[in-house]
Amino acid sequence: MTPEELVYLRRARDLMDREYTRPLDVPAMARAALMSPAHFSRQFRAAYGETPYSYLMTRRIERAKALLRRGDLSVTEVCMAVGCTSLGSFSSRFTELVGESPSAYRARDHAALAPVPACWAKVITRPVRRPSTNEEAQVGRTA
């Protein structure tokens, strides 16, 4: 991967970080990176270790966690506020990344994070993709 390609990939990643509430698809992200969608997807995964869609959803879930901690919005309102259009898909992805449903996360006491600056809270609560059972089985076979 050339340094120029990395600059273009960063441009697309920055677009996802900045415009996560917009309906973004791989072709739109690829245009930002000046690449074809297939090439962009391969290069993004090689550079960042996850697909562009997975990265975008992680950003959305990260923001959703912050909104749910406030407690003044419903799960549906948070889903729409972060750019998701399907409550079911949002809840499934949230549960996959966070380990509990959005409702359970919202209901939990978040007082321990109150004195933590927002920039640190973002790092501390960043969602981490957990490998699925199928992926774990594949890793076990290749090890």
Same-domain check for residues 73 and 101: yes
* Ramachandran region, residue 99 (left: φ > 0; alpha: ψ -120 to 50; beta: rest): left
Of 49, 71, 87, the residue that ends a domain is: 49
Residue 113 DSSP code: G
Residues 91 and 124 in one domain: yes
Q: What is the CATH number of the domain that holds 107?
A: 1.10.10.60
User: Quick one: 40 and 76 in the same domain?
Assistant: no
Within this chain, do residues 15 and 63 fall inside the same structural domain, yes or no?
A: no
- Phi, psi dihedral angles at 121 (to 5 degrees): -60, -35
Q: Is the same domain home to 15 and 69? A: no
Say which residue the tokens 């969602």 belong to: 127
* Same domain membership, residue 117 and residue 71: yes
Looking at residue 109, its pLDDT comes to 81
For residue 137, the model assigns a pLDDT of 47
Closest of 115, 106, 98, 104 to residue 68, by C-alpha: 106
Domain that holds residue 27: 1-49
Query: Which contacts qualify for 69-73: CB closer than 8 Å, 24 or more apart?
Result: 69/106, 69/110, 69/113, 69/125, 71/106, 71/110
- pTM here is 0.78
> What pLDDT does residue 123 have?
64
**Domain co-membership, 64 together with 126:** yes
Could you tell me if residue 71 is left (phi over 0), alpha (psi between -120 and 50 degrees) or otherwise beta? Answer: left
120 and 93, same structural domain?
A: yes
Are 66 and 121 in a shared domain?
yes
Mean pLDDT, 10 residues at a time, over the chain (143 residues)?
92 94 92 95 94 93 91 93 93 92 89 69 64 49 43
pLDDT at 140: 46
User: What does the pLDDT read at residue 121?
Assistant: 66
Is residue 114 a part of any domain in this protein? yes
- Same domain for 65 and 17: no
The number of folded domains in the chain is 2
